[in-house]
């Protein structure tokens, strides 16, 4: 009975389904046929307006890679004027040089970016052409309907796939994924390279410019396009002003929790920050006000805010509705103009060809003095910072080649010794990042080739089960040039290919002819300066041999011998703060650390940095041995305070200091567009610093507590037992306080040991002096006190040691302060910290 019921149920469902299909098949088939017939006609009509864009990307991180002929970037564009005006995404062409545009009929034109607007991610490219077919732009974004059929035309994945078409529907409108403005969502496939292409409806009209694909595990068919209203807004501003003129209020706004997670929001936008002297500040807007509307536009999200501002121009007056506390008020405000970076276009300095190596048939390094043939398929893979190791790969993946230069070799190395060295080279000497394949596992050939001018040693062998490696070694003028060619097994046994590999190796010469125009120089050796940048938009130049510190969050830079340092500190400028007030605070804090004998601070010197007023302060300090000198450069720009500090030993050559300081100061720049977009308010901790504020340290195991200055740092003694707290050290500049607790040692034994240690130190060095006495501590505690005055490594200091016993625990407390920081305030804080010591009895003080 059960089986019959299941069969019958399935049969009924099948019958009902079949009936529904028969009933609607005419409609479905008719619609599908209509769409299928429509799409080719629409694409045929729209394709002539879509172009492919290719160019050479720039890279601040690796200029050598920028020059690689195979390092190209591509995207898509849409013709908007018949004389060669093309719209695309800003991210496609912002960092692209030597732009080439290919039209749908296969013609290639040189292009140049004329206008770029990163806020909307739109840009214009111009080519010298006439009679092109401009795209038909839809009338309004309001006509776009969810569910309507659309097609995306672009250049996905590879430039060889230009003018590819994908079809889908409009999945949603009014989206705002990673955008300042609303976007169209579509399930038509949008892939890398589609950026800047057309999203068209079945009338052949452009309803959007494809901009991004949401890529994540398990996510499919989630692409986005810039809608036509934003496109028209930007194109109009480009035409009228050459840029997008955006209104400026001077507000940082924060969305409600509901808006952030995508729920309908019932509140406006919270004012998180108001720029001083901005239109918003002048209108009386304050932090924590709620911005409810601009004109007639209600605001729930920052996208609402940006969309509303598109209706206005700078210097226009608008009405804002503000909720301040429990009341709503209207404010009239005259809009300012937001900063907009001007488009700056620079072509490649060599030529305007896409091929960075056009005309180059040889490659080499002018600093290390070598050269060889440069076949078109040879691609530089990596190069060491000093340029002494470089690796290449074949564009088709057939082989890899590495060249290493060792300047510490002797020309007296015999052929036998050289062959032996090549056959047994230690793999650990090489960095696998450079594709070194190691010494061969089985040697197939070994010989010394007496070639005129540049003889070489040659070893050929199997490299595991993967392929073969040929190693050659050339000795020339004190340098050993080692070449490693690794070839896959399948290609090595091809005689024709093997001849081409040998031809490449045979072309190697330990010489570089700088007058040969066909020779490409890949030398990265530089004795000049390197530009360093950080996430706060700051950049500056330092000598090429300087390195960025690895343990200071990227804020410190060091000379090659670590004797000189540049430290960068960036914090937010609090409302009402001034450059002079800030520098005065910093000087007072510095002076409070050292006694006058051990410090010097000069009056601030006015200068200009990054286009704004700045102050330069020279100072020096010492703990008694070596003096360190330095300069601090202070300036405030775009709501942030920048301090660039340069320190060096006092004995450093004055001309060297002046040259480096001049280079640093003249090269300092701040580019707001290079700031991390997620930067917020960064509190200057020095503004909140109270050197006398204390916190409680409590040691339950050894039954004591202390009030320690909050600005001090602390450390436990080294111990295999992380829970051991028998010794605790608290540090400050030029001194420390140590508490050692020992429940096993007696008071008498500790005193006896310390007496012996002090006398031994004095007997060893007459300059070491101490006094000892018995004192009472904490009202009723007998203690032994030692006061030491000594100069260790030219650093004079005072050390006071107390030994006492309380609650069956013996304590040794050491107070040390260097003479250089022995100000009344510092010494008082140290003594007060010790005097705050209280003892716990059963968990109670």
**Would you kindly state where each structural domain of the chain is located, as residue ranges?**
45-241, 247-337, 362-515, 529-687, 690-839
CA 76, CA 83: separation in Å to the nearest integer? 18
DSSP 844: B
Q: Do the domains 362-515 and 529-687 sit in the same CATH topology, yes or no?
A: yes
Q: Residue 157 is encoded by which pair of tokens?
A: 């994945």
Q: Residue 13 is encoded by which pair of tokens?
A: 């469902």
φ/ψ (deg, to 5) at 687: -65, -25
HSE at residue 522, side-chain half, CA atoms within 13 A, is: 31
In CATH, which superfamily holds the domain spanning 690-839? Mog1/PsbP, alpha/beta/alpha sandwich (3.40.1000.10)
Cα-based torsion angle of the residue sequence 127, 131, 135, 138 in order, rounded to the nearest 10 degrees: 120
What lies within 8 Å, CB to CB, of 580 at 6+ separation is 604, 615
Three-class DSSP category at 497: helix
CA 378, CA 361: separation in Å to the nearest integer? 11
Hey, what CATH class is 362-515 in? alpha beta
CA 371, CA 367: separation in Å to the nearest integer? 11
Active-site position among 195, 293, 463, 810: 195
Looking at 635-703, list the stretches that DSSP marks H as alpha helix, in order from N- to C-terminal side. Answer: 654-667, 685-688
**Quick one: which of 90, 91, 55 has its CA closest to 71?**
55
CA 768, CA 35: separation in Å to the nearest integer? 98
In the block, residue with structure tokens 């609402």: 304
Q: Residue 256 is encoded by which pair of tokens?
A: 């409600």
In the block, residue with structure tokens 């896959």: 488
**Quick one: which of 182, 169, 180, 165 has its CA closest to 227?**
182
Alpha-carbon distances, residue 102 vs 99, 258, 504 (angstroms): 10, 46, 35
What lies within 8 Å, CB to CB, of 622 at 6+ separation is 598, 599, 628, 820
CA 682, CA 501: separation in Å to the nearest integer? 57
**CB neighbours of residue 196 within 10 Å:** 32
Angle (CA) 439 493 372, round 5°: 65
CA 384, CA 204: separation in Å to the nearest integer? 52
Q: What pLDDT sits at residue 300?
A: 83
Decide if 91 is catalytic: yes
In the block, residue with structure tokens 């057309």: 198
Q: What pLDDT sits at residue 431?
A: 41
The dihedral of CA 137, 138, 144, 149: what is its sign?
negative
Three-class DSSP category at 748: helix
Q: In what order do the strands lie in the sheet with 529-533?
A: 529-533, 536-543, 669-675
Decide if 195 is catalytic: yes
**Quick one: which of 630, 643, 665, 669 has its CA closest to 571?**
643
**Quick one: which of 427, 672, 343 has its CA closest to 538?**
672
What lies within 8 Å, CB to CB, of 842 at 6+ separation is none
**Quick one: which of 600, 645, 596 has its CA closest to 619?**
600
Q: What pLDDT sits at residue 5?
A: 33
Angle (CA) 107 108 110, round 5°: 150
φ/ψ (deg, to 5) at 519: -100, 120
**Quick one: which of 165, 185, 156, 191 has its CA closest to 42?**
165
CA 414, CA 598: separation in Å to the nearest integer? 60
Q: Residue 407 is encoded by which pair of tokens?
A: 């300047």
The residues pairing with 579 across neighbouring beta strands, listed in sequence order, are none
pLDDT digits (tens, 9 = 90+) for 543-562: 888 888 754 445 889 988 88
CATH of domain 529-687: 3.40.1000.10
Q: Are 270 and 286 in contact (CB under 8 A)?
A: no
**CB neighbours of residue 780 within 10 Å:** 7
Q: What pLDDT sits at residue 216?
A: 41
Active-site position among 74, 91, 237, 491: 91
Q: What pLDDT sits at residue 497?
A: 80
CATH of domain 45-241: 2.40.10.120
CA 745, CA 751: separation in Å to the nearest integer? 10
Cα 554 to the center of its chain, rounded Å: 10
CA 45, CA 151: separation in Å to the nearest integer? 12
Active-site position among 117, 121, 289, 435: 121
Decide if 762 is catalytic: no
10-residue averages of pLDDT along the chain (845 residues): 34 32 37 61 90 80 56 88 94 88 90 91 94 93 90 76 83 77 86 84 93 51 87 94 90 77 76 83 86 88 87 92 86 86 50 74 93 90 86 87 85 84 58 47 87 89 82 90 89 79 92 93 80 87 82 71 92 86 94 95 95 95 91 92 95 93 93 82 88 93 94 65 73 95 95 96 93 92 95 91 95 96 96 95 49
Q: What pLDDT sits at residue 271?
A: 85
The residues pairing with 323 across neighbouring beta strands, listed in sequence order, are 290, 328
CATH topology of domain 247-337: Pdz3 Domain (2.30.42)
**Quick one: which of 107, 157, 156 has its CA closest to 127?**
107
Cα 186 to the center of its chain, rounded Å: 32
Q: Are 488 and 406 in contact (CB under 8 A)?
A: no
CA 434, CA 667: separation in Å to the nearest integer? 34
What lies within 8 Å, CB to CB, of 41 at 6+ separation is none
């Amino acid at each position: 009975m059960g089986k019959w019921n299941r069969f019958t149920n399935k049969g009924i469902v099948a019958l009902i389904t079949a009936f529904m299909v028969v009933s609607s098949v005419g409609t479905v088939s008719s619609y599908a046929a209509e769409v299928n017939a429509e799409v080719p006609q629409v694409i045929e009509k729209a394709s002539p307006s879509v172009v492919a864009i290719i160019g050479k990307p720039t890279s601040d991180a690796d200029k050598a890679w920028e020059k690689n002929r195979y390092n190209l970037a591509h995207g898509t564009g849409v013709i908007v004027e018949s004389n060669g005006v093309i719209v695309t995404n800003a991210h496609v062409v912002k960092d692209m040089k030597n732009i080439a545009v290919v039209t749908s009929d296969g013609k290639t034109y040189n292009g140049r970016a004329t206008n770029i607007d990163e806020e909307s991610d739109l840009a214009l490219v111009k080519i010298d052409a006439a009679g092109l077919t401009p795209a038909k732009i839809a009338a309004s974004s309001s006509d776009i309907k969810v569910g309507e059929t659309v097609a995306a035309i672009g250049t996905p994945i590879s430039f060889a796939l230009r003018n590819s078409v994908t079809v889908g529907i409009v999945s949603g409108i009014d989206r705002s994924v990673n955008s300042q403005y609303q976007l169209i969502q579509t399930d038509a496939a949008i892939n890398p390279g589609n950026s800047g292409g057309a999203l068209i409806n079945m009338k052949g009209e452009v309803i959007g410019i494809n901009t991004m694909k949401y890529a994540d595990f398990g996510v499919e068919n989630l692409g986005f396009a810039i809608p036509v209203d934003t496109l028209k807004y930007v194109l109009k501003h480009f035409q009228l002003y050459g840029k997008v003129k955006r209104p400026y209020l001077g507000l940082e706004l924060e969305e409600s929790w509901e808006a952030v997670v995508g729920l309908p929001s019932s509140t406006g936008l919270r004012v998180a920050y108001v720029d001083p002297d901005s239109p918003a500040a002048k209108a009386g807007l304050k932090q924590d006000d709620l911005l409810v509307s601009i004109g007639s536009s209600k605001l729930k999200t920052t996208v609402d805010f940006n969309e509303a501002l598109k209706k206005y121009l700078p210097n226009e007056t608008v009405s804002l509705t503000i909720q301040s506390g429990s009341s709503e008020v209207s404010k009239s405000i005259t809009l300012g103009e937001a900063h907009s970076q001007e488009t700056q276009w620079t072509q490649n300095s060599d030529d305007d060809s896409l091929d960075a190596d056009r005309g180059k048939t040889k490659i080499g390094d002018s600093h290390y003095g070598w050269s060889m043939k440069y076949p078109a398929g040879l691609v530089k893979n990596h190069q060491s910072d000093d340029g002494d190791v470089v690796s290449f790969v074949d564009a088709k993946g057939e082989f890899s080649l590495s060249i290493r230069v060792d300047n510490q070799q002797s020309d007296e190395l015999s052929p036998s010794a050289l062959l032996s060295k090549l056959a047994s080279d230690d793999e650990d000497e090489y960095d696998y990042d450079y594709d070194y394949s190691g010494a061969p596992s089985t040697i197939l050939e070994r010989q010394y080739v007496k070639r005129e001018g540049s003889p070489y040693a040659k070893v050929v062998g199997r490299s595991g089960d993967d392929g073969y490696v040929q190693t050659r070694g050339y000795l020339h003028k004190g340098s050993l040039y080692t070449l490693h060619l690794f070839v896959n097994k399948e290609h090595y046994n091809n005689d024709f290919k093997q001849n081409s590999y040998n031809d490449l190796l045979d072309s190697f010469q330990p010489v570089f002819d700088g007058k040969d125009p066909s020779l490409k120089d890949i030398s990265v050796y530089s004795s000049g300066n390197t530009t360093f940048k950080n996430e706060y938009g700051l950049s500056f130049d330092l000598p090429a041999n300087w390195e960025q510190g690895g343990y200071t969050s990227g804020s410190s830079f060091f000379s090659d011998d670590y004797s000189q340092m540049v430290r960068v500190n960036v914090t937010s400028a609090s409302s009402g703060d001034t450059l002079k007030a800030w520098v005065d605070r910093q000087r007072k804090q510095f002076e409070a650390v050292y006694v006058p004998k051990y410090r010097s601070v000069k009056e601030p010197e006015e200068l200009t940095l990054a286009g704004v007023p700045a102050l330069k302060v020279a100072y020096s300090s010492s703990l008694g041995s070596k003096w360190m000198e330095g300069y601090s450069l202070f300036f405030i720009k775009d709501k942030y305070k920048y301090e660039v500090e340069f320190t060096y030993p006092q004995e450093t050559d004055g001309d060297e200091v002046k040259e480096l300081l001049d280079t640093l100061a003249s090269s300092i720049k701040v580019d707001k567009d290079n700031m991390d977009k997620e930067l917020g308010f960064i509190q200057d901790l020095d503004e909140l610093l109270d050197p006398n504020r204390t916190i409680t340290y409590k040691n339950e195991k050894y039954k004591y507590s202390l009030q320690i200055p909050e600005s001090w740092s602390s450390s436990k003694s080294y111990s295999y037992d992380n829970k051991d707290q028998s010794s605790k050290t608290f540090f400050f500049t030029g001194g420390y306080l140590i508490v050692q607790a020992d429940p096993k040692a007696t008071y008498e034994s500790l005193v006896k040991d310390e007496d012996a240690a002090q006398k031994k130190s004095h007997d060893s060095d007459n300059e070491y002096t101490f006094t000892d006495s018995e004192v009472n501590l904490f009202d009723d505690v007998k203690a032994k006190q030692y006061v030491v005055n000594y100069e260790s490594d030219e650093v004079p200091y005072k050390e006071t040691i107390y030994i006492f016993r309380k609650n069956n625990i013996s304590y040794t407390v050491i107070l040390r302060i260097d003479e250089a920081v022995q100000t009344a305030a510092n010494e008082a804080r140290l003594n007060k910290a010790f005097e705050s010591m209280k003892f716990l009895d059963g968990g109670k003080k």
